[in-house]
Amino acid sequence: MKVYKGNTGWVRVLIIALPYIIVVGLFQLIAHVILGIDTSEIGKFSISENLAHKVLILLFSLLGTVSVVWLFVKTIDRRKLIGIGLQLKGFKHYLTGGLLLGVICIGLGFLILLMLGQVKVTSFDFSASDLILSIAIFTFVSLSEEILCRGYILRNLMISFNRYLALFISSLLFAALHLANSHLGWIGFTNLFLAGITLGLPYIYTKNLWFPIGMHLTWNLAQAVLGFNVSGNTSYSIIRISNSGSPILHGGEFGFEGSIICTIISLATIVALWRYFSGKEKAKCIAHKAQVDLLYKP
């Protein structure tokens, strides 16, 4: 990994903010013009919006994100874009693990809410085309947010601060990016912060994005498929549900991320991930020390 001189990582995070807003906004504007959508609706995703339209808009948002991050990585950080953690070779198992963990977390939450009588399944609506479009939507979202929030922001904050403080700050910024989302309350904001911790923990140990990308994708997709709103946004659902209990438990209009059940599952996941990755790091250090001791043994 390239070693940076000075303590300027946090400065890079501040500098990228305005260019990111401008560049991604321009890319979204292009997508809206192509689709013939009123440009005043940029950034808004209503229940009636065509899924194919949303796919194109989010694709252009991803292209905008990659463009501005690539420009900063190349000109300011002076490294290759893949160096922010996009190397897949040797990390495929982390991608698989992330994809699986996202499904487990949301599936567990759904089952708990069903058993508590907080949600009820009302109908099913399977559409292969809509499912494929939804997968594309949440793939673009996970790539965009992970490249920006973990690949650039968290990585640079770790240059300036202790990695755990960097994780805390980046998670606050990640939650703050969702402040404009509909129906966001204090539980939802807390859970978004915890999501930032959950997604960032693997990164501070591995410096690789594929675990958080995989988990982010299936975390969002599973919520949508199971009938929840995703961070206040509606999407295609295979299972249609109705909320029949307390919004504190089922999350209300914000979706599962507005639920205290999500808070508990997130905290448990954070502990599990911390123990797993810190344990691997400790074992690696012990193995390295043993090799060094053997090498210099008189």
Global pTM reads 0.91
Mean pLDDT, the chain, rounded, equals 90
Q: Please give the Cα distance from 130 to 292 (Å, whole number).
A: 55
Q: What angle (nearest 5°) sits at the alpha carbon of residue 229, between those of residues 227 and 235? A: 75
Residue 48's pLDDT band, with cuts at 50, 70 and 90, is very low
Give the sign of the dihedral formed by CA 92, CA 201, CA 105, CA 189.
negative
pLDDT at 125 over 90: yes
Q: State what percent of residues in the chain have pLDDT above 90.
A: 81
Phi/psi at 37 (nearest 5 deg)?
-95, 145
pLDDT at res. 245: 84
DSSP H or E segment with residue 120: strand 119-124
Nearest to 194 by CA among 161, 229, 219: 219
Where does the pLDDT of residue 141 fall: very low under 50, low under 70, confident under 90, or very high at 90 and above? very high
Contacts with 135 (C-beta within 8 Å, 6 or more apart), sequence order:
221
Name the residue range of residue 179's domain: 87-293
Structure tokens at 195: 């999501």
The CA dihedral of 86, 87, 93, 96, to the nearest 10 degrees, is 30
| 21 part of a folded domain | no
Determine contact, residues 146/206, Cβ cutoff 8 Å.
Answer: no
Residue 157 is predicted with a pLDDT of 97
Residue among 125, 127, 134 nearest 52 (CA): 134
Tell me whether residue 118 is in a domain.
Answer: yes
**pLDDT exceeds cutoff 50 at 288:** no
Residue 249 lies in a domain: yes
Please tell me which residue, 161 or 285, carries the higher pLDDT value.
161
**247, 273, 275: which is closest to 261 by C-alpha?**
247
Q: Is 5 helix (H, G, I), strand (E, B) or coil?
A: coil
**Mean local confidence (pLDDT), 215-222:** 98
Structure-model confidence comparison of residues 92 and 40, the more confident one: 92
pLDDT of residue 82: 95
Q: What is the DSSP letter of 177?
A: T
Strand partners, 109: none
Report if residue 233 sits inside a domain.
Answer: yes
Higher confidence at residue 265 or residue 46? 265
pLDDT for 244 equals 86
Within-domain flag for 76:
no
User: For residue 26, what are its two tokens?
Assistant: 């321009």
Domain contains 207: yes
Q: Count CB atoms within 10 A of the CB of residue 248.
A: 15
The total of structural domains in the chain comes to 1
Rounded CA-CA distance 129/252 in Å is 28
28 falls within a domain: no
Handedness of CA 153, 159, 161, 162 (dihedral sign): positive
Helix, strand or coil for residue 230?
strand
Is 125 a member of any domain? yes
Residue 248 CA to residue 264 CA, distance in Å, equals 12
Average pLDDT over residues 248-264: 96
Those residues with Cβ within 8 angstroms of residue 3's Cβ, 6 or more apart along the chain or in another chain? none
